[in-house]
Structure 1
Amino acid sequence: MFRLIGEHLRSEGMSVFRINFCAGDWLHWHGTGCSSFKGTPSDWPEFIESFLSCNGITDLVLHGDQRIYHRAAVAKAREKGIHVAVTELGALRPGWMTLERNGLSTLSHFPDDPDAIRGISDSAGPVDLSRMFPSSFWLQTAPDVVYNLLNVFLAPLYPAYERHTIYPPISEYARGAVRLFGEKARTTQAEQDIHHLQAAGTRYFVLPLQLEGDFQLRSHSPYDSFAQVLESVFGSLAEAAPAETHIVLKSHPLDVGFENWAAVVEELTAKYGLNGRVHYLDGGGLAAPFSEAAGVVTLNSTAGLEALQAGLPVKTLVPAHYDIEGLTHQGDLAGFWHAPHQPDADLLNAYVNALALTTQVRGSIHNSDGVRVAARNIAARVAARALNPFGAYVDPPPRLEKARKLGVPL
């Protein structure tokens, strides 16, 4: 996608540069305007500062703002007044990519004021929200496998490269392959478990698990592991929730099994005396658990936005992008178990509309047509400096102060 973005920008007469950090980067994009950084991460800040100045860089475009090299690049670019454009997978998946100015999530400049959001939606007009560019399993997995295995086997070419992921790629892929063989059985079991729970008329909340390597956990929360999130939620459930209230935990679809979540859940269930009230689904999707849930508890997952769109009350443990008064439960978790706040449907429609018009672009890196559309749309926004348009840029980032008070290390 980034190579195609570069081609679009060059066709408009702009100079385009690319810095590669590893063999996988080189495979995706090499040639004119490309260079390689082969120093250590500690050498990088000085290198990028010099690179930005010597090449007269006006715009920095990157995927994600919390990766090892990206954090320093963003900091140096902002010091120099360089325009920063950050991409990420879309909040309105499938068929969308996120494109924001300066930062994402806790660092997003998108407003959190309901009136401002309604104003953006009203002034910008309606947007087509139809589903497009469905994800391809092979485009999610094959390029990732090729990229990371190339980095393993050609590591001597970039000896100081430090990857941003937390697991060794070969071990991760081996575990993922093993889990694929059991996917059908796990899904069947999950469907049976949630059916029995619903048939019994049990009142339950859903907690979607997030990946240990997710920057939403690593950078945008005060927790070191999702096990700490579970401990916090289980403690509150035991202390403050009605005795008949249960919780359903849903594994992440991309979890390959480095963490034994079933064992963690069993241990915490016993620790907090929640026997019979905790249900771990290691398969299936969220639609079935959501269908009769009393609400959803989440750290800051995009699953929370899916839950809001399904009409469910949502409580975030840290300021997620959609954690807005009128949408999410603003009280504490103890109160949420008893009286979860229902989302304002009109505000939700305005939020989704405003989001789609300002920080989302059509396209997808997991669809062969979608990647070309995404590249074209992102290039057009970058060239026009049309990031966070229609007044969707608030400075400082409106979620940051609240997040820092909770211990988020940003």
Structure 2
Amino acid sequence: MIPSPRRFLFLQGPICPFFPGLALGLKARGHVVHRINVCFGDWLLWKGWFWPQKEWRAYSTKSIPAVDFDRPFSEWSDFIEDYLDRHAITDVVLLGEQRPYHRVAIAAARQRGIAVTATDFGYLRPDWIILERNGHNALSGFPRDPKAIFDLARDAPRLDESRGYIDSFRNQARWDVFFHVANASVWPFPHFQTFQLHPVVPAYLGTLWRLIRRGATKRRAEKLMASLPEDAPFYLFAMQMETDYSIRAYSPYPDMDTPLREAVRSFARHAPPDAHLAVKVHPLDPGLKAWNRRLARMARSAGVADRVHFVDALPLDALIRRAAGVVTVNSTAGIRALELATPIIALGEALYRVEGLTHEDGLDSFWKEPRQPDRVLTDAFLRAIARHLHVRGVFYGPEGLSAAVVAAVERLEAGLPDIASVMAPSPPLETRTPRQMWTIFRQDGIGRRTARTASSPADATPRADG
């Protein structure tokens, strides 16, 4: 049976041809496609100016015109409500459900019964992409109840751990720079409210400096790891980007300093006296904070300067395999720890924060008796999220992007599975009106903060919602 034609609205997405490809694929299948640009980077992306090369010409969206929203953010609520009604939109597709424009759009869509699909880099790595209803982490409809997870995994195939597609960091970096530098201009979107925290130039210069020093940094980290006693308990703290909404929206912490300080103090009081803690900085952290010095001060203050170490540029898997346990706020490194059967504690909201998967007895007890993840539940969890929340592919490599577009078009046309009914009620965000979301946006300080700053390269992170 041929699906009834639907009306898709594309808002901000990954900085690559993924959304243009989805739009073209859905249009070719008889659906109506709309696009709204809210910044200059959006405008250039939709016109294909970031990828003029021949291999990307199939993603030209000349047949799908876009509407530009270049008015003050205070008018966005009325604009998006009118647009959804006037065009009888049935589906909204976006990346970054916590971005200011998207929060308001989601609230308006939910009021009207419009399906919202959020995408991002996969919870699984390295060649998976999320397609999920409403949002990720705390907004995910995926259940946290083990029985419901087993039900979802009942007919799911075993997880394919082979690597099918290679992504392109070169494309990712180049397109990210184009997008955010374009948004530094006040023309032709003078009222754009960025979702980022840091100015673009310092962020890129900091990232570049880290990449230049990567070789020397890696050698120091290797020397440090080799010096640690092999029989001593070893724990890993996997840092995240402060600009990532996984920290800003789905954790109790205002920054990364706070959970780091909490972990170091707990480690000092409760870890075995011969234990060591390594803190791994995120690979794409812009270096605007000197984390090595900050961590050293925390460790000295807690009296464990000789047992808390800063590491950078080392492969994550090797560190996880050596660790007796992994601490993180809600990084996807936690899912990798589950795959490698390493105990994990999540300090914030996380998809994998499930009794039987993560240590739930508190951080203080984790250092001495970390709970091993249940292997049967882990297998069911991985199979369930692979089947219900992901498609296979990548954002930046041509072959993997093509595969992702084909799979995502089929998934969107068929409709994403409704699994929200098997978990707790949705957070209050989804029931608030667009005007309430605008009030919250102004009150929480994000508007004031972002009005002063330009964009930073957080969309090149493992979570692209920055």
Q: Tell me which residue corresponds to 1:160.
A: 191
Asked whether 1:311 is paired with 2:320, we answer no
CA distance in 1, matches of 2:420, 2:85: 29
Matches within 5 A, 1:10-409: 10-30=27-47, 31=62, 32-152=64-184, 154-199=185-230, 201-385=231-415, 387-388=416-417, 391=419, 394-396=422-424
Structure 2, gaps ≥5 residues long: 1-17, 48-61, 430-443, 445-466
SS in structure 2 opposite 1:157? coil
TM-score (norm 2): 0.82
CA distance in 2, matches of 1:400, 1:130: 39
Task: Give CA-to-partner distance per residue, 1:373-398, whole Å, 9 cap, x none.
Answer: 2122112111111x136x57535457
CA distance in 2, matches of 1:139, 1:8: 22
Q: Tell me which residue corresponds to 2:25.
A: 8
Q: Tell me which residue corresponds to 1:406.
A: none
- Check conservation: 2:343, 2:359, Cα contact below 8 A: yes
Amino acid at match of 2:70: K
CA distance in 1, matches of 2:265, 2:426: 30
TM-score (norm 1): 0.93
SS in structure 1 opposite 2:279? strand
Distance 1:400 1:347, change over 3 A: farther
- Check conservation: 2:181, 2:200, Cα contact below 8 A: yes
Distance 1:395 1:120, change over 3 A: closer
- Check conservation: 1:189, 1:283, Cα contact below 8 A: no
SS in structure 1 opposite 2:144? coil
CA distance in 2, matches of 1:259, 1:291: 28
- Deviation, 1:400, is 8.8
Distance 1:370 1:393, change over 3 A: farther
- Deviation, 1:167, is 1.4
Amino acid at match of 1:63: L
RMSD: 1.9
Structure 1, gaps ≥5 residues long: 402-408
CA distance in 2, matches of 1:242, 1:400: 41
CA distance in 1, matches of 2:23, 2:283: 32
- Check conservation: 1:187, 1:283, Cα contact below 8 A: yes
Task: Give CA-to-partner distance per residue, 1:33-73, whole Å, 9 cap, x none.
Answer: 41011112222111111110111101001012111111111
- Deviation, 1:261, is 0.5
Task: Give CA-to-partner distance per residue, 1:390-410, whole Å, 9 cap, x none.
Answer: x57535457999xxxxxxx9x
Task: Give CA-to-partner distance per residue, 1:220-256, whole Å, 9 cap, x none.
Answer: 0111110001111112112222222221100110012
SS in structure 1 opposite 2:88? coil
CA distance in 2, matches of 1:41, 1:280: 41
- Check conservation: 2:36, 2:69, Cα contact below 8 A: yes
Amino acid at match of 1:180: L
Identity of aligned residues (%): 37
Query: Greater CA deviation, 370-379 or 218-227?
Result: 370-379
CA distance in 2, matches of 1:194, 1:115: 40
Task: Give CA-to-partner distance per residue, 1:82-129, whole Å, 9 cap, x none.
Answer: 011110111111111001111211110101111221222122344534
SS in structure 2 opposite 1:323? coil
CA distance in 2, matches of 1:388, 1:235: 43
Distance 1:48 1:396, change over 3 A: farther
Aligned length: 398
Amino acid at match of 1:316: A
